[in-house]
Chain A
Amino acid sequence: MRQCLVIGRPNVGKTLLCLRLAQACGLKWAFIMHELPDGAVRERVLTIRDAMATLVSAARYTTVGIQTVGVGMSSAIGQRLVLHDSTGLCEDSHDNALIRRGMARTLTLMVQSEQIVHVVDATTLDKGVLSPIDSLIMDVSKARDVPYTLVFNKSDAPGAMRKTELYRKSDRRTRPLVVSALRAQGIDDIQRVLIRTNVVN
């Protein structure tokens, strides 16, 4: 089973995106394994709808620790992929030991996972430039040389498209996939990438 890390800053929509991907793969139920920062593990099976209601929130650090969502990529191929929904990386939670440990787990997965999906909230792009943390996430992922996908989320929100255009003009090397997890738009593009990178071998 291939391990894919979904990484990004807090509140960019990582959790909702993971659940949308599960949904796009035809799952009605999500098998969710919640790994707490102190190492304890809790398993839950929720309908995707319930999972969205309980696990997605506008508060930052809804996800502390790692939430694993099993996603069957395609029932035909029967190959499975595991998405690791991680604690958002961000500087100003430095005072919270729990979140720090969660973030450390995120970095551990970052050096271990076989695939990385990097989620950015498009409305937070400043003059079309990635935040320092985001460019570092990109750099480290690329240095690792594993399949890496940049996703700009919240394309439905005001300003998102304009900022995405600015980004496209300033950085031509890494093309983002532009999606709205909220409206379930563009999810199939990510799904295609995941399928393409996962059928081989």
Chain B
Amino acid sequence: MDPIIDQLARGRLSVQSSLEQLRQAYRQDAPRSRSGLTRFGAPERGDSVLPASSPDAGIDPVAAKEILLRPLRDLIGLSEVKKVIDELYAYLAVQTLRRRMELKADGTVLHMIFAGRPGTGKTTVARLLGPIFATLGVLTQGQVVEVERADLVGEYVGHTAQKTRSQLDRAMGGVLFVDEAYALARGGDKDFGREAIDTLVKGMEDRSGNLIVILAGYENEMNYFLSLNPGLSSRFPVQISFPDFTERELLQIASRILEERQYRLSSDALSALRQSLRSERWGSDFGNGRTVRNVIERAIRRQALRVMGCAQPTRQDVMTLFAADFREGNDHAPMSGDWPSQRW
């Protein structure tokens, strides 16, 4: 039993496959045990055990594809991103198989650039990639460490290298996700950001193979950043761009949020929501998925005020958002710190 559970803890087996394998293990142990404690050491490896392909080979990457990529597929929109990752998966899966068959396999460099505006799903996708790579055996742990400039850049000479190295250590065996990476180059040549970049690059080389660094940020700023650091581009061969969501996708995101939070829209609220998103869209600080959350949060707060005015609010009343809840009123402006979730 323990090896199965251990694989789950390491992110190498999905919950379902772990349970499946436990079931198999019990089934093969014909005389049933009440205590179940230590009767089974390693599980017998039957042919139907899922989805390990052979003893000690880890899971079968082809069979596991569906399970592993499902969370990614479930994300709204991002069709280009999904396509790129599908290709990457196929490539890595085949490399994994080749390695197991003792054929030559590339030790590919997988450092990435995620370019896109805020709220387009960069962080979400990064979080999903860690465990996928771990399952494929590219990384040993698959944890995703999210950092930004302040986590890497220090206040005095030597401090930066020390801070950056400690983040690299935390990310060892997994993914280091540097959000708004271009901010590292913000302060010009004398800035400690420079030192952070150098330490990062050195760390990537020293730890090659068991660490993936993802630099994320706005498309234009990332291009500028890369142009300032000519050596960098070639070190980040996987470049994925995250486009803004379409209006339809934004509405899908909205309906998923509403469903999660157990609210519903009155018949006129949908067009008010659409209007509201449209006007936000042209704003300079449009945050895609994040803005959708904002708009909904704001409506929920207005609805609450409105409901407080009802004499005897019904279940219907507390669940329903009206058009009026989405219209700009004399309500306070949303503050960026108001963002309810870091998910997007």
Enumerate chain A interface residues (CB-CB to B < 8 A). Answer: 89-92, 94-97, 100-101, 103-104, 107-108, 110-112, 114, 132-133, 136-137, 139-140, 143-146
B7-31 vs A, CB cutoff 8 Å, 1 = contact: the mask equals 0111100111011101100110000
A107 to B8, CA, bound (A): 9
Query: Taking chain B's interface residues, is the majority helix, strand, or loop, or is none over half, making it mixed?
Result: helix
B67 within 8 A of A: yes
Contact size class for B?
35 or more
| Contact status B19-A133, CB under 8 Å | yes
Closest to B4 in A: A107
Cα A112 to Cα B33 with chains together (Å): 11
Closest approach, in angstroms, between the C-beta of B180 and any C-beta of chain A?
Answer: 21
Say whether B1 faces chain A, with CB atoms less than 8 Å apart.
yes
Q: For chain B residues 216-249, which have a beta carbon within 8 Å of chain A?
A: none
Report B30-73 residues with CB < 8 Å from chain A CB. Answer: 32-37, 67, 70-71
Closest CB in chain A relative to B210 CB, distance in Å? 16
A141: min CB distance to chain B, Å: 10
Q: CB-CB < 8 A to B143: which residues of A?
A: 97
- For residue B46, give the distance in angstroms from its CB to the closest CB of chain A: 14
User: Given A97-B11, A97-B143: A91 and B18 within 8 A (CB)?
Assistant: no
Q: Which residue of A has the minimal Cβ distance to B19?
A: A136
Leading 8 A-B pairs by shortest Cβ distance? A143-B26, A136-B19, A104-B9, A95-B127, A145-B32, A94-B131, A107-B5, A111-B1
CB of B32 to closest CB in A, whole Å: 5
Contacting residues, chain B, for A144 (C-beta < 8 A): 26, 32-33, 36
CB distance from B169 to the nearest CB of A (A): 15
Contact pick for B15, options A101, A103, A108, A143, CB 8 Å:
A103
Are B6 and A110 touching (Cβ within 8 A)?
A: no
Can you list 24 A-B pairs with a CB-CB distance of less than 8 A?
A89-B19, A91-B14, A91-B71, A94-B11, A95-B71, A95-B130, A97-B141, A100-B9, A100-B10, A100-B11, A104-B8, A104-B9, A107-B8, A110-B22, A111-B1, A111-B5, A111-B36, A136-B16, A140-B22, A143-B26, A144-B32, A145-B32, A146-B34, A146-B36
The CA of A136 and the CA of B1, in the complex, are separated in Å by: 15
Docked-complex contact A91 and B67, CB < 8 angstroms: yes
CB pair B70–A143 under 8 Å, yes or no, is no
Q: How far is the CB of A13 from chain B (nearest CB, A)?
A: 15
A140–B5 CA distance with the chains assembled, in angstroms: 13
Alpha-carbon separation in the docked complex, A104 to B34 (Å) = 21
By CB atoms of chain A within 10 A, which of B15, B19, B70, B143 has the most? Answer: B15
| Pairwise interchain contact A140-B15, C-beta atoms closer than 8 A | no
Complex interface: chain B residues within 8 A of A92 (CB): 71, 74
**A100 contacts which chain B residues (CB < 8 A)?**
8-11
* Distance between Cα atoms of A91 and B37 in the complex (Å): 26
Structural contact, B22 and A90, CB atoms closer than 8 A: no
Measured between beta carbons, the chain B residues less than 8 angstroms from A111 are 1, 5, 22, 36-37
- The reply to whether the CB of B109 lies closer than 8 angstroms to some CB of chain A is no
Is the beta-carbon distance between A94 and B36 smaller than 8 angstroms? Answer: no
B5, A108: Cβ atoms closer than 8 Å: yes
- Best-buried of A92, A95, A104, A108 by chain B (most CB within 10 Å): A95
B128: Cβ under 8 A from any A Cβ = yes
B32 cross-chain contacts in A, Cβ below 8 A? 143-145
Q: Which of B135-150 contact A (CB under 8 A)?
A: 141-144
Known A-B contacts A94-B14, A112-B36, A145-B34; A137 and B19 likewise in contact (beta carbons under 8 Å) = yes
The minimal Cβ–Cβ distance linking A129 to chain B, given in whole angstroms, is 15
Cross-chain contact B14 with A95 (CB below 8 angstroms): no
A140-B19 in contact (CB<8A) = yes
Known interface pairs A89-B15, A97-B143; A136-B36 also in contact (CB < 8 Å):
no
CB-CB < 8 A to B33: which residues of A? Answer: 144-145
Minimum CB–CB distance from A30 to chain B (whole Å) comes to: 28
Task: Find chain B residues with CB under 8 A from A97 CB.
Answer: 11, 141-143
Beta-carbon contact of A112 and B37 below 8 Å: yes
A103 touches B23 (CB 8 A): no
Known contacts being A101-B9, A104-B8, is A133 close to B15, with CB within 8 Å?
yes
Which residues does chain A contribute within 8 Å of B5, judged by CB atoms? 104, 107-108, 111
B 194-230 binary contact with A (CB < 8 Å = 1; else 0) = 0000000000000000000000000000000000000
Given the complex, which residues of B lie within 8 Å of A145, measured CB to CB?
32-34
- Shortest Cβ distance from A34 into chain B, in angstroms? 19
Q: How far is the CA of A115 from the CA of B27 in the complex (A)?
A: 19
B33 to chain A, nearest CB (A): 8
Measured CB to CB, the nearest residue on chain B to A107 is B5
